[in-house]
A = this chain, B = another copy of it.
Amino acid sequence: MFSIGKLAAASHCKIPTIRYYEDIGLLPTPRRSAGNQRIYGDRDLLRLRFIRHGRELGFDLKAIGQLLQFSALDHTASNHQHSHQAEAIAKVQLAATYSRIARLQSLAEELELMLVNCDESNDHQCQVLEVLANHQLCQHH
């Protein structure tokens, strides 16, 4: 039995975020006390931890909703087909993660180049600004 504050503490998720997840249907609507306060169970905590963990791993809420449908937390028996679908979602996420890494690495190299040139050209116009102002000086594309 948890109040929303207790659930928040146990799951490292903020109270308004928990309400948001309920609003968008990611968490089920909980029972209420006589004073209209939400009452959560252990299953809610497990489900919320699943969600937060998925967010930490970069899955968007839609994907997490799908994964939840495949999991035992959504009253659906997990079977072989669902396992493959969850795996597919994770693979998409992994590919997207690598793509982001590559992009960021390219950007880091560009920024490094910009800053190295800054150090070497103390007596000249700022290279950071030069490079931003002139796309030809940029090597990433």
**A residues within 8 Å of B by Cβ?**
46, 49-50, 53-54, 56-58, 67, 70-73, 78, 82-83, 86-87, 89-91, 93-94, 97-98, 100-101, 104-105, 107-108, 110-112, 114-115, 118, 125-126, 128-129, 131-133, 135, 138, 140
Given contacts A54-B132, A118-B83, is CB(A93)–CB(B67) below 8 Å? no
In-complex Cβ contact of A114 among B73, B90, B126, B132 (8 A): B90
Q: Is the CB of A111 within 8 A of B97?
A: yes
Q: Is the CB of A135 within 8 A of B104?
A: no
Q: Is the CB of B132 within 8 A of A67?
A: yes
A98 to B109, CA, bound (A): 10
Which residues of the partner chain B approach A105 to less than 8 Å between Cβ atoms? 101
24 A-B residue pairs with Cβ-Cβ distance under 8 Å, sorted by A, are A49-B133, A49-B135, A50-B133, A53-B135, A53-B138, A57-B111, A70-B129, A71-B132, A71-B133, A72-B133, A73-B133, A82-B126, A83-B125, A86-B128, A87-B115, A87-B128, A89-B128, A90-B111, A91-B115, A94-B108, A97-B107, A97-B111, A98-B108, A101-B101
